Chain A
Amino acid sequence: MSSQYQAVQWNRQKRIYDLLLISGVALYLVVFAVVTEHYFPYVTEEILIMRAFGTLAFLLLHLILCIGPLCRLNPKFLCLLYNRRHMGVTCFFLGLIHAVMVVATYHAGGDINPIASIFVTSRLTGSLAGVPFQPFGFFALCILFLMAATSHDFWLSNLTPPIWKTLHMLVYAAYFLLVLHVTFGVLQGEAGLLYSVTMAAGLLTVIALHKAAAWRERRNDRELEGLRGDGFCDACSVDDIPENRARVVCLSGERVAIFKYDGKISAVSNVCQHQNGPLGEGKIVFGCITCPWHGYQYRPETGESPPPFKERVATYDVRVQNGRVFVFPKPKMDGMSAPAILTRQ
């Protein structure tokens, strides 16, 4: 969390995260190279590099895609999410090295511009093996580049979180393109069962985790009923909310996080202004709602970040009667105080 832009807001845990990430990348590349050279000493270096970096980029993309749903299923995985953007940028650079080797090896040195060659050399022949697969990889890399280039909070702030989030959801399009790239490419050449099984297992894992997380989320999206005459909705029992934590409910199509802390109840929008993280899965720390994704903080009474930060989330009016929490379904203007209600009356 920072009130001004820096290339990287380093802290101890980010350093540890990146150190482990780089170590993992180096370990994979070295082991892949050593095993390949041992069993296939006549492999040419450019293809060895191409394969090592390509397989690692694809594996890393699987991990990146799995972190989100894993965090929804078990908050302990949030430690993997905290610096996920560095993992994404790493994934892009691994893919870029793979692509540079492909263009330099397979497309340069002929009579056609090497980049144009990606699109015009292979033609559809009507057979599975004849599907040009390299354009899929090219477009996937373009998406990964866009995401890596706009990964900094500068772009998040200037593009606005909804646009930034939409742009970064294109990672699923990139993944789909890469599945096609691999299916019509290396799986047609390396016809070994393991390659196909690995690919299918990866795809199924990504889909299954997203389905499981979505199923779990669906519970939060059940629209509340029981609108009273004063316009407030019966949201939950006070006892349903753990101390310093929240219960998430759906009101007028929006998720609302109802926090209990210091004998008070406050309700705020569930959407963090940083990366739209789920505030309702956060915790009150130092008197502030703390987003589980990157630790952005908001005062529960006002929805405002403590100075010098300027982020704000919408607040909701709350009442407590007979041990039940009632929330007015229309948000107040950003930053305006919503009264915190004492739970003991």
Chain B
Amino acid sequence: MNGPFYIGWQDRADPEIKRFIIRCVLLLFSIGLGFAILLARMQRTIGVSVFEWGTEKKFSGIMKAMPYPHLIVPRPGASGATIGFSTYYLVAPFKHGLDPGSMASLDGRTVDLRGTLIYRGNETMIEAIPDSIKASLRQMEPPAGLENVSLGRQTFDGEILDSKCFFGVMNPGQSVPHRDCAILCISGGIPPVLLVRQKHGRPLYLLLASADNKPVNQQVLDMVAEPVEIRGEVERQGELLILRADPSTYRRLNSRSP
């Protein structure tokens, strides 16, 4: 009780207190440094994805309007077993998708557009400038393998997320912290995707559509960023996987997805 006494407005602290302050500051800086390293290193949801923000490119391809607008771009020189085209999801700037209804008039036609590339693994997307989407003067031949191939009825556990953020606009762009953004994006027309993490192999991305191949944006909002189980018809269109199911049959899981 009778030790040195600290008074902040005095010019100098007692030497014993000064030594204590130095030890305190060093300890606090070490703790802060330790937390900065640990908390940064232990982040788990940051993947490899890119949004080429500020880099606008021109694209030409065949517009497919349903279930969500996407662009089919033939790959030059593709032959044999390789898929002869790339698929680009199409979205508008910010938290908006392209309206499948307004794109219906361009369905199956060759279009030119300008936009910014977004990609994660093999998943590719273009944030298109809506006014730049025009029917092209030259018509492309539909590449081989463009027709949908049924993969049968299957069940998947995963997380519903908005494809735009997850594919690269935000990283990380998934899970609970990102849920509000994902809900706003999906309600704004961004294609909802089911992320399925497999024990072995790459994760699967399944574009969610209704049983009759319509968008399901408004029906899935309450299940975004939570573990869900979906059973439905799976179709492959090139590299694009589409999971068709009535959203009322989606089942919320109690446990977290693996």
Contacts and interface: CB of A to CB of B under 8 A. Distances in A.
Interface stretch (A41-49, A172-180, A228-236): A41-49
Given A11-B9, A12-B11, A123-B222, A110 B184 contact: yes
B151 interface: no
Interface string B40-72: 111111111111000000000000000000000
A155 interface: no
Most central of B24, B48, B181 by chain A CB within 10 Å:
B181
A125 B170 CA distance: 25
A77 B24 contact: yes
Contacts of B223: 125
Contacts of B183: 121-122
A111 B8 contact: no
Given A1-B9, A110-B95, A189-B176, A47 B40 contact: no
Contact of B35 (A44, A55, A185): A55
Contacts of A282: 5
A293 B121 CA distance: 58
Given A47-B171, A129-B227, A133-B176, A295 B187 contact: no
Interface string A3-37: 00000010111100000100010011101110110
Contacts of B7: 285, 290, 295
A83 B21 CA distance: 13
Interface stretch (A145-153, A190-198, A218-226): A190-198
Contacts of B45: 189-190
Interface residues of A, number: 79
Interface of A: 1, 9, 11-14, 20, 24, 27-29, 31-33, 35-36, 39-40, 42-44, 46-47, 51-52, 55, 59, 63, 75-80, 82-83, 105-112, 117-118, 121-123, 125-127, 129-130, 132-134, 184-186, 188-192, 194-195, 198, 242-245, 282-283, 285, 290, 292, 294-295
B37 interface: yes
Interface in B156-199: 169-172, 174-181, 183-185, 187-188
A317 to B, nearest CB: 25
Interface of B: 1-3, 5-13, 17, 20-21, 24-25, 28-29, 32-33, 35-51, 93-95, 169-172, 174-181, 183-185, 187-188, 222-223, 225-227, 252, 254, 256
B256 A191 contact: yes
B20 A76 contact: yes
A11 B11 contact: yes
Contacts of B94: 108-110
A186 B177 CA distance: 6
Given A42-B50, A111-B184, A185-B176, A31 B40 contact: yes
B184 A129 contact: no
